[in-house]
With several copies, the nearest count.
Chain A
Amino acid sequence: MKLYEHQAKGIFSKYHIPVPEGSLITKAGDAMEIAEKLGDVVIKAQVTAGGRGKAGGIATASGPEDAETAAQRILGMSIKGLPVKKVLIEQYRKPQKEMYLGITIDRKARRPIIMASTQGGVDIEEIARSSPEKITRMHIHPLTGVHDYQARMIAYQLDKENSLTIYDVIKKLYRVFDDHDCILAEINPLALTAQGIVALDAKMVIDDNALFRQEFGEEESVSLEYLAKKSGMSYVGLDGNIGCIVNGAGLAMATLDMIKQYGGEPADFMDVRAGANEEQVRTALRIVSSNVNVKAIVVNIFGGLTKCDEVARAIVDVISEIKVPLVVRLAGTNEQEGRKMLEKYGLITVSSTEEAAMEVVKLGDSHR
């Protein structure tokens, strides 16, 4: 789960990582008063999608009226399909130097890794590709956390003169990362300004598996992704017209690959997980069929933990709500029971993933 910038900065503040003074507003009219207090300000659209700067979601303003105009404009925008409902108004801090500081997980080393660069404020992945030597990487032992000497080494490399403050920011950012089950905790840019070191931006991505012990209040928005996550499933929206409900991510991807091989285009990807139950399958069907682009749905289940008869029962329950044709593939646990149940309702059942992909591509084409 990605946090909004203002959420991440709120957490940073609690950990005493310096961030610019600012306020969150939902109405452009509130911008004036804040700008009056703060002087020159930056107005930033609060969306979790990347590239909001390029999309025009960030503006600087001097003077209250200027601020209101900018806030008005940004609150009217949509960025990557998401309407901007909130903006963050912050005191403008002129960066004399922009650095990068991020903590993420190195799968291969199976530990957290701190990445830092004196070349911040830009696309760090571009730097990682073009000049990897400009990024310092340091693994952290998950049972001890960041050692003092490690924080000091990174701080010295970023800016020896301001190393004490940066050392402090590194130690605190690691605590943020550790306390909040982060997959990513990032400051880009970490800026040196006339007022000292400050985190001008803040990004936190939380491990969805740890949400049971983390509390962030606000969700990204009530999206299909969110509805799926709430039911313990995983939904990804895509650009085509074939809805895909599969148990297990690997099998789901294999299904998508085959649909493409047969010339179809998936509209989405719903992984009901290996152990999906009846209720989850019902929810999955409702979510996928609520996607207006979907012209046909394939349900591909290889029962292990999941029982095929439960899946069939779920399909039968909601079949009347679904307005597009359905191809069902059932294999594994209680396969026969499940298929028999569906055949009574005249539903197409097939026995292999290939066949399912072929059938659903045909149906999708005929319903365009």
Chain B
Amino acid sequence: MGILIDNHTRLLVQGITGREGSLQAKQMKDFGTNIVGGVTPGKDGQEIHGIPVFDSVKEAMDDTNPNASVIFVPPRFAADAIFESIDGGIELIVAITEGIPVHDMMRVCAYLENSSSQLIGPNCPGITTPGGSKIGIMPNPIHLAGNVGLVSRSGTLTYEIIDLLSGNGIGQSTSVGIGGDQVIGTSFVDILELFESDTKTDVIVLVGEIGGTAEEDSIDFMKQMRKPVIAYIVGVSAPPGKTMGHAGAIVSTGSGTALEKIKAFERAGITIGRSPKDIVLKLTNILKK
């Protein structure tokens, strides 16, 4: 059934009455996700696509008992929405919102350490288990059920790769976008650990980016994994010292370039995909065995 989400997932949508929240709630529902409620302060009593709306997470908890939450709240209110979910005891929190201040996220992550919640994101596309459940904004039609676990720091690039895999008949167990910001709740290693012990996953695709050392930090774990990993790192052509898009992708001198990451992976014996097409090629080879 993949990782993180399954048939028992009962989802709460924070920010459900907003443009994105409402649209994506519909998409998730269409995908088969069990959305039990939504939260928008002041909108208690409304219904969106048949989903009851509450003023607060606590009221939603009391009435509908969700165990997961997805955040579509605008950046300046998003950290507070995450605090609300943590305090509510929600187990899995997926923050889609892009543009949350990094100081807010440092506070949230320190707060998480003493809680029972896990945070995916922010600035991420979420989690999809084809044939099962979806939390987030990955387009519905691109997925195909299968045995490849995908974990990525990117958003649209993740769609691109999933689409390509599915188009080539390669299905996914679960696809997870962990988010591209500097400070995020769940790391590559956290997800790799889950895939390693997931019976439905046989191979893993890891999509990394320039900036930081999140990719390198996962090498030690990957070396001891039983399951093969194919890594694809974008930003080979990025000039050092420039911020490429989101805050996560700052190249600090001497570390964080795509080439350094790729070299470190190769030294550790991890298969590198040179392009999305190359990933498909190498996956096909592995899956044939």
Within the complex, are A and B direct neighbours (CB within 8 Å)?
yes
A residues whose Cβ falls under 8 Å from a Cβ of B: 105, 107-108, 110-112, 125, 128-129, 141-144, 147-149, 152-153, 156, 178, 181, 183, 207-210, 212-213, 232, 234, 236, 238-239, 246-254, 256-261, 266, 269, 271, 273-275, 301-305, 331-333, 352-354
A248 touches B41 (CB 8 A): no
1/0 per residue B97-112: CB within 8 Å of A? Answer: 0111111011101110
Q: Which B residues lie within 8 Å of A261 (CB)?
A: 275
For B245, give its contact among A112, A212, A253, A333 (CB under 8 Å): A253
Q: Given contacts A105-B106, A207-B101, is CB(A331)–CB(B87) below 8 Å? A: no
CB distance from B121 to the nearest CB of A (A): 12
* Chain B residues bordering chain A, tally (CB within 8 A): 74
A107 touches B80 (CB 8 A): no
A sample of 16 cross-chain residue pairs with beta-carbon separation below 8 angstroms, ordered by A number, consists of A110-B105, A111-B110, A142-B110, A149-B41, A149-B81, A153-B58, A156-B41, A181-B103, A209-B102, A250-B155, A252-B245, A269-B245, A275-B20, A302-B159, A305-B20, A331-B160
Cα(A306)–Cα(B256), bound, Å: 29
B254 touches A236 (CB 8 A): no
A110 touches B237 (CB 8 A): no
Q: Which B residues lie within 8 Å of A238 (CB)?
A: 239, 242
B160 touches A302 (CB 8 A): yes
A147 touches B247 (CB 8 A): no
B residues whose Cβ falls under 8 Å from a Cβ of A: 20, 24, 41, 55-58, 75-77, 80-81, 83-84, 87, 98-103, 105-107, 109-111, 125, 137-139, 142, 152-160, 163-164, 180, 182-183, 207, 209-210, 212-214, 217, 234-239, 242-249, 252-254, 258, 275-277
B275 touches A303 (CB 8 A): no
Q: Given contacts A110-B110, A129-B254, A248-B156, is CB(A253)–CB(B238) below 8 Å? A: yes
- Among residues of A, the one whose C-beta sits closest to the C-beta of B88 is A149
The 9 closest A-B pairs by CB, nearest first: A250-B154, A249-B245, A248-B156, A250-B157, A271-B245, A210-B101, A253-B234, A142-B106, A251-B157
